[in-house]
Amino acid sequence: MKYLRLEPKRPRIGVFDFTSCEGCELQLANHEETLVPFLKAIEVVNFREVSSYKGEDYDIALIEGCISRDDEVGRIEKIRAQAKVLVAIGSCACFGGVNRLKNAYNLDEANKEVYGDKPKSTAKVRAIKEVVKVDLEIPGCPINKLEVERIVQCLAFEVPFNFPVYPVCVECKQRFTTCMMEKGQLCLGSIAQAGCNAPCPAGGLGCWGCRGPAPDHNFEEFMTLAKQRGFSEKEISERLGFFGGFEGRR
């Protein structure tokens, strides 16, 4: 399709999954309102969730999932070598996600306990950036489809895009959502990266920090307030460690 007699460049995109639930990929395919124009703006050459075609000539690679087995290392290195731009999508790809919880256990003992004399290949969970160079990260569990579309517009048409520099608390106020901490729920909204439009607090659930820390977040003040409201160190540590985005701050 030409516009002003110019042939627009459609970025060739490959979407790949590693250790994950594939929920972020489903987000890309499930937003019916914009799915058709979104697909017209790009050329999908590898995306198992939507097509059986598997090409290797992609410019941009969208990666869902973390690295949790040794055989996944070679595969992500091959994708990185092909892609001009590699984008980690979702909490698992950006931080290790829920899968990172297994790093607290002895994997050999757990493998034997679960699988007996038929152990499965397993290794410590790593985020994509811990294995190969990542050009851009889009956090969330799952990702925000509208955010991904805006980023693709940025990559394809050079439309300006910036991630929010404020925490989820701001989005709660924009939605007129009553603070979950005021309702007696532990919530990471004051220190978590915005961009999701705060669906969890709007639905009555305190933020679990799936998008990782907000820029310049006041972690010390959050800890003080959380303890003042009666939350234990154990509760706070478990919440911070759930998605892996606050690694080292527990």
C-alpha span between 126 and 129 (Å, rounded): 8
Phi, psi angles (nearest 5°) of residue 182: -65, -25
From the centroid of its chain, how far is CA 184? Answer: 27
3 state DSSP class of 63: strand
Q: How many CA atoms lie within 13 A of 179 on its CB side?
A: 10
Domain boundaries along the sequence of the chain? 12-157, 168-241
What type of residue is 7? E
- pLDDT tens, position by position, 160-204: 888 899 999 999 999 999 999 999 999 999 999 999 999 999 999
Average pLDDT for 235-244:
95
Out of 1.10.10.60, 3.40.50.700, 3.30.365.10, 3.40.50.300, select the CATH number for domain 12-157.
3.40.50.700
pLDDT digits 0-9 by tens, 3-55 = 445 455 788 999 999 999 999 999 888 767 777 787 777 888 999 888 888 88
Instruction: Of 108-112, 159-163, 245-249, give the range with the top mean pLDDT.
Output: 108-112
pLDDT (average), residues 119-131: 95
Report pTM. Answer: 0.89
* Distance from C-alpha of 90 to C-alpha of 70, rounded to nearest angstrom: 21
Which 3-state string (H, E, C) describes 23-56?
HHHHHHHHCHHHHHHHHHHCEEEEECCCCCCECC
Nearest-5° Cα angle at 147, 146 to 149: 65
Give me the pLDDT at residue 149, please. Answer: 83
